[in-house]
Amino acid sequence: MMDSYKIEYRCSLPHGLHARPATQLEVVCQRFRARIEWCNQRNGRCADAKSVLALLGTDTLYGDLCELRLSGDDAGKAARELLHFLRYELQEAVTEANSFGPVQIPRSLQATQSPLVYGVAVSPGIGRGELVVMSAKEPVLPLAVLAESLTQRQQRLQSALEQLQEQFQEQLQQANAPVSQVLQAHLSLVADREFQQVLHHFLPDVTSAAEAIRQTQSHFQAQFRTSESHYLQERELDLRDVCQQLLTLLYPGQAGEIIPALRAASVVLADDLTPSQFLKLDKTHLQALLLSKGGQTSHTIILARAAGIPVLTGLTDQRLLPMAGQPIIADAELGCCLLQPDAVAERYYALALQVKQQYRQQLQQQNHSAGYSADRQRLEIAANITSVADAVAAFQAGAEGIGLFRTEMLFIGQDTPPNEETQYQIYRAVLQAADGKPVIIRTFDMGGDKPASYLTLPPELNPFLGLRGIRLYPHCESLFRSQLRALLRAACHGPLKVMLPMVSQPEELHWVRQRIDEEIAELRAAQQPYAVFALGMMLEIPAAALQLEAFCPQADFFSIGSNDLTQYLLAVDRNNPRVAHYYHYAHPALWLLLQQIVTQAHQHGRWIGLCGELGGDPRFLPLLLGLGLDEISLSARQISGHKSALLQLHAGRCRQLLRQVCDADSREQVLTLLAAAEVSEPRPMLRPENIILRQDWRNKAEVLKGMADHLWLTGCTTQPLQLEEALWSREEAYSTGLGHGIAIPHAVSDVIEHSALSICRLAQPVDWDALDGRPVDLVIMLTLSNRQGREQHLRIFSRLARRIMYEEFRQQLRQAPDEQALCEVLRQELKI
Ligand code: PEP
Ligand code: MG
């Protein structure tokens, strides 16, 4: 039967439909026989969705409305899977374009005599090493190549195409996440129908396969260049990469690619670099990359960011080339390079690298620390996964556990389901990756928007209200039993919890418990090792949520499925773009229900988490904390951001906000409440972590920079460079060296998040241009946020200025044995 469907999709990808998402889309489309066309309504360009290059040609940008037209016998199935894919999987983290704006050289670096060269910082960091220049060489092909017959050309080209695909497949097996994204994109390019068609189209009219490759490259380059998206323009590099690799395979040793062998810490200068060239550079020595061309979003830059290699682009300065072999510092924080660094520059960067190192250590600690709010309310931050690879990536990203393993992803999109053994191996591998951390595996949740062809179920008018989740199990009982057996066996390898989707009645839990008991009996009889797991259920049907108590005798734990709970509570199809504006987490009724659920679960001594998309939406984190949930589960890339945001929140204030939200009448009111809420933990001005004892900074500029950086490390500012400048503008009006060896630098500024009084005792006094001409050994710095006002500033400043007139106070400051004691002296004297 010939079916046809249409899906509307508004592009929510920040950089438009570029090569990576287009590749993912193409992979999904390839699973179906249906013809699938992607039409961009803005410019009228339509394309075969099974070709990445054709998709790129539609120039789909952020916000464009597109229509997917599907026709063919499996078009219905394709439409359902594509809807799910577009809604949940085709998402992308916004990669920051780290162009840091106009270069402002900090005062402590201004005395350097080293020549400075400016560029655009696109991958942050600082690298120091010897300058290595990588020359671009156009391949020169030997004459013999020019005499190939058409058949020879066709055969050689075809085998090179196949070989390259195999090569990518092999590399993919060992690649980490960012590299595999790039490899996948390149694999799709080589395998692309349109790419191969154009190659073969040129072949009869040229004298060599190389020529056909060149012409194909130019053909697509011209297409990319006319795109309005700079993102697509930058895909040209991927095309060049793939073509270069084809040439290298066709003409080994003759296609002219020179990768320098790095022998010591090096900063590599090149015109631009393809992703494969970047991958071939020795990362043990590569400290930074300087490119004369190159945008901000090319795959090379993405790989460099993932590998932590600083990159500057736009470096066309003629002074660079003759510096080959000389030391250079590439500063992709400030956006400049220092050639042949002198002692001032070396000292500045030695200190800067120390700060970076401290920052990295802090991040690492945070990554492996448990989720807590500022006032120590616990909230476990777990990850949603669909595969073993996801689990590994999630734990690397700091997940405290797995809150949802959507196992149906192992079952859909193929002709047969995975057997018990395959499943057992996967669940075991996830538990092993978790290494003792908790793992919640959800039994397969098919039906609704996740169909599986082999289940041969009759079509439903309203699949989301039909046979889905747990309701399906009696209709495919042996399949469900095979999953139960695999789970019971896997439970021997770690703390496993299993949960059931779409439960609406206690009898359903009872039915499953009976099947588990029977499978345990079978395993025991067969003498197969197994372990019993905790059995829980998802709360995603309002009826079950409202009647939670009735499930408690059989459910060991609960997890809220906010996607479905919102859909059923608000009566909005979660995948229907026409009613998407009705689907909103700010609806007060949702929070009323969530509050009731969490309270009830805890009253019955049950653990409760939340694993739908709401868990990853940073706008609602204060409310989730206010609910008192035990856990939230989100995608791996959101974990570190959520952990640090959580650390700033005050749970008490969040609970208060939640109460207001539950009393609100409309979602607009909720959004206004959220925008105005003060939910961060108030910080005292004086904290031991802002006290620095025996620091060996050598001059005033180093002290101001060091103290501004320290405030950055303690989270009081996010912009240390601007803070440093604010401090300097005060110093320029008058010296804050008030005499007696004491300086009181100060600033009131927007770049200060939390007001602070920081103190530094210097190992050696430094010149401060003080009123009495004495060098300074004690610095008391006052940095106030604009919100907290000037009045407080004046009050503290004048009290301080009066108190330092007294010898006894000065002695107390200089002799206090530790940070805590020093804080106490100031607290008492200044009454803060
Ligand atoms: C949910 O409904 O919130 C949930 C996590 O399940 P899924 O999105 O897989 O239906
Ligand atoms: Mg659900």
Known catalytic membership, residue 299? yes
Residues lining ligand 1, Cβ inside 6 A: 404, 406, 445, 540, 561-564, 611-612
Per-residue pLDDT band for 105 (boundaries 50, 70, 90) equals: confident
Report the distance separating Cα 22 and Cα 596, nearest Å: 42
Which of 560 and 387 is assigned the larger pLDDT?
560
Is the pLDDT at 788 greater than 80? The verdict is: no
Residues with CB under 5 A from ligand 2 (ion): 540, 561, 564
CB 819 within 8 A of CB 813: no
Helix (H) or strand (E) holding 131: strand 126-133
Is the pLDDT at 99 greater than 80? The verdict is: no
Q: Among 388-392, 556-560, 603-607, 816-820, where is mean pLDDT lowest?
A: 388-392
Report the distance separating Cα 658 and Cα 204, nearest Å: 70
Q: Among 103-117, 436-450, 567-581, where is mean pLDDT lowest?
A: 567-581
Is the pLDDT at 813 greater than 80? The verdict is: yes
Residue nearest to atom 9 of ligand 1 (CA): 406
pLDDT at position 100: 35
Q: Among 139-148, 542-551, 552-561, where is mean pLDDT lowest?
A: 139-148
Bridge partners (DSSP) listed for residue 330: 127, 337
Q: What is the mean pLDDT of the chain?
A: 88
Please, what sign has the CA dihedral across residues 662, 668, 671, 677?
Answer: negative
Is the pLDDT at 96 greater than 60? The verdict is: no
SS3 123: strand
pLDDT at position 254: 67
The tokens 């440093």 sit on which residue? 724
pLDDT at position 305: 82
pLDDT tens readout for residues 484-511: 999 999 999 999 999 999 999 999 999 9
Report the distance separating Cα 809 and Cα 119, nearest Å: 49
Q: Model-level pTM greater than 0.85?
A: no
Separation of CA 445 and ligand 2 centre (Å): 8
Is the pLDDT at 277 greater than 70? The verdict is: yes
pLDDT tens readout for residues 109-141: 999 999 999 888 888 899 999 999 987 655 555
Separation of CA 538 and ligand 1 centre (Å): 9
Separation of CA 501 and ligand 2 centre (Å): 7
SS3 358: helix
pLDDT at position 102: 45
Is the pLDDT at 93 greater than 60? The verdict is: no
pLDDT at position 633: 97
Q: Among 36-50, 59-73, 732-746, where is mean pLDDT lowest?
A: 59-73
Per-residue pLDDT band for 94 (boundaries 50, 70, 90) equals: very low
Is the pLDDT at 621 greater than 70? The verdict is: yes
Of 337, 611, 654, 823, which one is the catalytic site residue?
611
CB 614 within 8 A of CB 625: no
Residue nearest to atom 6 of ligand 1 (CA): 561
pLDDT at position 777: 96
Q: Among 47-56, 290-299, 698-707, where is mean pLDDT lowest?
A: 290-299
Per-residue pLDDT band for 145 (boundaries 50, 70, 90) equals: low
pLDDT at position 255: 61
Q: What are phi and psi of 418, to 5 degrees?
A: -70, 145
Is the pLDDT at 585 greater than 90? The verdict is: yes
pLDDT at position 745: 95
Q: Which domains are assigned to the chain? A: 4-95 (3.30.1340.10), 111-137+259-339 (3.50.30.10), 150-250 (1.10.274.10), 379-676 (3.20.20.60), 688-830 (3.40.930.10)
Report the distance separating Cα 705 and Cα 713, nearest Å: 12
Atom of ligand 1 nearest to the CA of 540: 2
Report the distance separating Cα 375 and Cα 359, nearest Å: 23
Question: What integer is the mean pLDDT of 397-424?
Answer: 89
Which of 552 and 95 is assigned the larger pLDDT?
552
Task: Name which of 224, 217, 272 is nearest 239 in CA terms.
Answer: 217
Is the pLDDT at 180 greater than 80? The verdict is: no
CB neighbourhood size of 678 (10 A): 10
Question: What integer is the mean pLDDT of 665-679?
Answer: 92
Known catalytic membership, residue 746? yes
pLDDT at position 728: 94
